[in-house]
Amino acid sequence: MGIDRQPTLLHWNYFLAIEEDLAKLSRYVDFIGNNDSTFSLEIARILFAASSEVDVVLKQLCLVINPASSAENINTYFNEITPAIPTFCGFKVLIPRFGLTLEPWIDWKAAASPEWWKAYNKVKHERHIHFDKATLKNCLNSVAALYISLLHLYKTEATNGDLMLLPQLFNVTDANFGGTGMGRWGHYFRYNI
């Protein structure tokens, strides 16, 4: 018995799994402002998964921008991504279900990583001291950052409506929304990236 396999968008599928975990978390920790500083093991786990995937995806995005790229950390990614994609840092995403607009890259500078990234590293390397940085706010921003990073990595697929399965929570603003459609595999979004 044979199986015919086609290439898939592995990073998109992983994002959808992380986002599903985030949606499940919302049943226990509401995404209202009073809970932004809430921290837990589950929030830390999602923060770790999303942030480490951001690292992988940004490295891939740098290679798309510059096939000779040797960028290997958040600071060197900045030097390749922001000149090539000037709108990257100001890209906004929505979580309409909870009335949220997130700009996870807005404070990314050449010598200063975003706050959620700093928190991720503190929790990763010194969890015994900084566990309280594994907050809902940092978690939401890390998953939003992953979503934005993937939309840019898979720009062609995003523009063509080829990112199979719609996100449960995340969407883009009107400026980046190119419409919806229905195809053989279900509903899809077209993004303006």
Give residue-wise pLDDT tens across range 35-91. 999 999 999 999 999 999 999 999 999 999 999 999 999 999 999 999 999 999 999
Q: Is the pLDDT of residue 1 over 80?
A: no
Every domain of the chain and the residues it spans: 36-191
- Structure confidence at residue 139 (pLDDT): 98
- Structure confidence at residue 163 (pLDDT): 92
- Structure confidence at residue 184 (pLDDT): 82
pLDDT digits (tens, 9 = 90+) for 109-162: 888 999 999 999 999 999 888 899 999 999 999 999 999 999 999 999 999 999
Alpha carbon distance 145, 190 (integer Å):
19
- Structure confidence at residue 186 (pLDDT): 85
Our CA dihedral for 74, 76, 81, 83, rounded to 10 degrees, sits at: 130
- Structure confidence at residue 5 (pLDDT): 81
Q: Is the pLDDT of residue 183 over 90?
A: no
Return the amino acid letter for 183: G
Beta-strand runs (E) in 14-142: 93-95, 100-102
